[in-house]
Structure 1
Amino acid sequence: MASALPITPTDPDPSFAELLAGRPHLSMHALDGLMVEGVPLHRVAALAGTPTWVTSAGALRRRARALKAALAAAGLQAGIHYAVKANTGLAVLRVLAAEGLGADVVSEGELRAARAAGIPAAAIVFSGVGKTERELRLALAEDIAQINVESAEEVEMLSALATTLGRVARVALRVNPDVDAKTHAKITTGRSENKFGVAIDDAPALYARMAALPGLEPVGVATHIGSQITSGMAAYRAAYVRLAELVQALRLAGLPVKHVDCGGGLGIPYRDEPAPSPEALAGAIKATLGGLGLPVMLEPGRWIAGPPGLLLASVVLQKQGAARRFLVLDAAMNDLVRPAMYEAWHGILPVSPVDFVAPVGPADVVGPVCETGDTFARGRAMPSLSPGALVAFLDAGAYGAAMSSTYNMRPLAAEVLVDGDRFAVVRERQSYAALLGDQRLPDWLTE
């Protein structure tokens, strides 16, 4: 779930002002410093401490509405199911539910989170290559909108389970179109060597099998070719052309197809790289699938949740090494793993208005975890920062908090939602008691 951009790019980084200009929910106040909507981040730090995840509700709404508007302007009948894996926060889900978005889930936990946030079962799609019997039982009991099956083995298992439970599962067949989305190798999902979906050439026979089995109602076909797609619409068009051909073949065979699930993957500019717009994606869908006369479904995650979120951190100390200056923060790779895992680039802004305009020089921005990989940026242009100074990692709302861990026995960070000039802690910082609380010593070690 990442950008393929390295943490040490070869061309000049955007300036602080350029990073700020591209993110309308952020501003720099002459006295209060960096603000999210109407809330100064120093106030958030004073209340919640650091590191803390901060999400703009207004930005979430604007992005949801922009995507809906682009699809409507293209004349598409489209349903949007937010990919919960990008950010599983209940407050985030509630904001998006209020905007009319459904949910795309890949686990029992995500399904339960979507329901707890008020997303109706009729607006939930369950994807994933390894759904367990327990998870499928829950999906059937909740009577969700659709289960995207990804193998012949899953088809047989779901049929048997639904029949035993006296249920009918609405199913879409996820196909692998063997299209290279030109994204990071760890997040491509539409190539023949990837684990996802069934080969598109095998789809007609398996779809016919689904139609013949008890307990199943085939409703469509689905695909998802990758995440953080910024190389334009060529990969989308290639995949959707193959989907359109498949739908036509299924119709010729007399098989029902009610809609097409286009997946997600639309990328965002983490740095200053070009990224396709919702309008471009809507145009690609219209050009390739519009002639089918079918509703479509989309499952965006990063595009919705990425830019509205940031990670607020404090400087522990500034260390001058033999050859490099290090800014050591209280945030670490256990909080934001994307740079360590994918060499992903995130903008980093000083929060203080004084630090924002201070002279800059190269620094390695690192965390306190005992791993050399605990590095957010190398040679980044940063001012000299004193202990306690605040910095903000931009575009961290997707695959940030959701991928965090307690490595080095570091508690999970707090989470805050900003809405206009209001803000609230929506997830308390994990306590050390909670961090240890689910561990038990066996009897023979306590005697």
Structure 2
Amino acid sequence: MNDSAFHYVDGALHVEGVPAASLAEQFGTPLYVYSRDALTRAYRAYADACAGRKATVHVAVKANSNLAVLNVFERLGAGFDIVSSGELARVLAAGGKASNTVFSGVGKSAAEMREALEAGVKCFNVESIPELHALNEVAKSLGKKAPVSLRVNPDVGAKTHPYISTGLKSNKFGVAFGDARATYREARDMANLDVVGIDCHIGSQITEVSPYLDAVDKLLDLVEQIESDGMSIRHVDVGGGLGITYDDETPPDIGDFVRTLLAHFEERGHGQREVYFEPGRSLVGNAGVLLTRVEYLKPGEEKNFAIVDAAMNDLARPAMYEAFHRIVPVIERKASARLYDVVGPVCESGDWLGRDRELAVEQGDLLAILSAGAYGFVMSSNYNTRARAAEIMVDGERARVVREREEVKQLFAGESILPD
């Protein structure tokens, strides 16, 4: 198992102190289940490594935006990183503070800028010159100065899936490295902008430290040039993207990762800089599982299929990225295992959750899809008019519903047919 919060007791999978089978029986399947203990330990690994340093943690809301999850982090003292005004509303509803929230994203609308300025967000991570001009105009209309940091694209490869690599010249994100110094000068001269920092985010599911160090080196070289132009860069935002173990990956320990980056700032003579970390997957990924029930076992000439009640609409990562998630039985059987493709009921050949998995399983059995806490529920949809799963938070021996299961009638409540 990837996390000690998820473990077997006498052959039965438990989430902290609660049998997973009892959760499925009580709340139904498909079912997302999160461990408060796993969330807490992951956050504290970051926070403890930052202690005593000018470094802060801003949780990437896009990885898991459930209010209870965000509230766990808020109680631990986290800030937040958002990419929409909807995520800002979630942060505030979860008890978070706008003043400790960074607004990222490549396509902020004027309405979103206005909402964030009125709420008092900590900083805007701006990604283009047109966005700078738009933010300056919105801030002027409100009689405010917007705190800004430019997201710089350092052209550093993250050695990850191309869909989640964001720091190359060919990616849509950030200001090109060669244009960054001139763009900072342009921002400096806008009356309603306050230049406060610099930002980069090179990708996601990164399992090596070296790409981060390369990006930091390029950023700090640029900071020195920017400050020679008369600006003061108060913080450096190194983004998120640290990977987790889905299968056999060996990402660095969170604490070691943070300490290595902070030590590098000191080695470069920038130990006085405030550093922002924006973790998402590494906080929530291995703190959640998706429980699903086997509806049918379908043998075939070339493939055996375990058809389950979860589908690509519930967990999009396998279909979208060909991503691997371990799939384990909720109750271990002593029978011999067979190879199965674990697939859902959605009417698409791409509706698969795991291929060629060795499972001892029978119709009606429960399976747990591991490492589903990040980019699981948040990417789920209602494709095939399927109601989205419920979400549960386990805290010790208690389990609470933190999102009720949708009902089909809710899915078309806002629709109407044409009049006669």
Q: Would you say same fold, with TM above 0.5?
A: yes
Q: Judge conservation of contact 2:339–2:358 (CA < 8 Å) in 1.
A: yes
2:414 and 2:15 map into 1 onto residues whose CA distance is 36
1:154 and 1:323 map into 2 onto residues whose CA distance is 53
Q: What is residue 311 of structure 1 aligned with on the other side?
A: 290
Q: What is residue 7 of structure 2 aligned with on the other side?
A: 27
Q: What is residue 315 of structure 2 aligned with on the other side?
A: 336
In the TM superposition, residue 278 of structure 1 has moved relative to its aligned partner by 1.8
Of residues 225, 239, 246, the one that matches 1:249 is 225
In the TM superposition, residue 283 of structure 1 has moved relative to its aligned partner by 3.7
Q: What is residue 36 of structure 1 aligned with on the other side?
A: 15
Q: Judge conservation of contact 1:221–1:257 (CA < 8 Å) in 2.
A: yes
2:32 and 2:59 map into 1 onto residues whose CA distance is 20
1:284 and 1:209 map into 2 onto residues whose CA distance is 33
- The aligned runs of 1:304-383 (5 Å cut-off) are 304-353=283-332, 355=333, 357-383=334-360
1:413 and 1:375 map into 2 onto residues whose CA distance is 17
Q: What is residue 411 of structure 2 aligned with on the other side?
A: 435
In the TM superposition, residue 396 of structure 1 has moved relative to its aligned partner by 0.3
Q: What is residue 8 of structure 1 aligned with on the other side?
A: none
In the TM superposition, residue 68 of structure 1 has moved relative to its aligned partner by 1.3
Please state if 1:402 is matched with 2:384. no
Of the structure 1 ranges 331-340 and 38-47, higher mean CA displacement relative to structure 2 is found in 38-47
1:438 and 1:430 map into 2 onto residues whose CA distance is 14
Q: What is residue 206 of structure 1 aligned with on the other side?
A: 183
Deviation sequence 1:61-88 (CA, Å, 0-9, x none):
000001112233xx63211000000001
Deviation sequence 1:157-216 (CA, Å, 0-9, x none):
100110111111111111000001111000100001111110122111211221221111
Please state if 1:261 is matched with 2:237. yes
1:359 and 1:103 map into 2 onto residues whose CA distance is 47
1:54 and 1:384 map into 2 onto residues whose CA distance is 21
The AA in structure 2 aligned to 1:149 is V
Count of residues in Structure 1 that have an aligned counterpart in Structure 2: 417
Deviation sequence 1:17-42 (CA, Å, 0-9, x none):
xxx2x4200121227x1110011111
Of residues 21, 44, 69, the one that matches 1:65 is 44
1:286 and 1:418 map into 2 onto residues whose CA distance is 34
- The aligned runs of 1:114-193 (5 Å cut-off) are 114-193=91-170
Please state if 1:88 is matched with 2:65. yes
Deviation sequence 1:30-55 (CA, Å, 0-9, x none):
27x11100111111112210001000
Q: What is residue 88 of structure 2 aligned with on the other side?
A: 111
Moved over 4 A (4+): none
2:282 and 2:49 map into 1 onto residues whose CA distance is 13
In the TM superposition, residue 218 of structure 1 has moved relative to its aligned partner by 0.6
Of the structure 1 ranges 262-271 and 63-72, higher mean CA displacement relative to structure 2 is found in 63-72
Identity %: 46
In the TM superposition, residue 375 of structure 1 has moved relative to its aligned partner by 1.1
Please state if 1:217 is matched with 2:188. no
Which segments of 5 or more consecutive residues in structure 1 lack a partner in the other structure? 1-19
Please state if 1:295 is matched with 2:271. no
Which segments of 5 or more consecutive residues in structure 2 lack a partner in the other structure? none
Q: Judge conservation of contact 1:29–1:35 (CA < 8 Å) in 2.
A: yes
2:362 and 2:100 map into 1 onto residues whose CA distance is 47
**SS of equivalent residue, structure 1 residue 437:** coil
Q: What is residue 6 of structure 1 aligned with on the other side?
A: none
1:382 and 1:365 map into 2 onto residues whose CA distance is 10
In the TM superposition, residue 284 of structure 1 has moved relative to its aligned partner by 3.7
In the TM superposition, residue 406 of structure 1 has moved relative to its aligned partner by 0.5
Deviation sequence 1:109-151 (CA, Å, 0-9, x none):
1110011000111110000000001110110010110110011
1:319 and 1:385 map into 2 onto residues whose CA distance is 11
Q: TM-score, normalised by structure 1?
A: 0.91
Please state if 1:282 is matched with 2:258. yes
Q: What is residue 422 of structure 1 aligned with on the other side?
A: 398
**SS of equivalent residue, structure 1 residue 307:** helix
Q: What is residue 14 of structure 1 aligned with on the other side?
A: none
**SS of equivalent residue, structure 2 residue 338:** strand
In the TM superposition, residue 322 of structure 1 has moved relative to its aligned partner by 2.2
Deviation sequence 1:326-377 (CA, Å, 0-9, x none):
1000000000010111111101110114x2x432121111111111111112
The AA in structure 2 aligned to 1:398 is A
**SS of equivalent residue, structure 1 residue 306:** helix
2:354 and 2:237 map into 1 onto residues whose CA distance is 37
Q: TM-score, normalised by structure 2?
A: 0.97
Q: Judge conservation of contact 2:297–2:306 (CA < 8 Å) in 1.
A: yes
In the TM superposition, residue 108 of structure 1 has moved relative to its aligned partner by 1.1
Q: Judge conservation of contact 1:55–1:309 (CA < 8 Å) in 2.
A: yes
**SS of equivalent residue, structure 2 residue 217:** helix
2:321 and 2:345 map into 1 onto residues whose CA distance is 19
**SS of equivalent residue, structure 1 residue 324:** coil
2:37 and 2:258 map into 1 onto residues whose CA distance is 23
The AA in structure 2 aligned to 1:281 is F
Q: Judge conservation of contact 1:244–1:288 (CA < 8 Å) in 2.
A: no
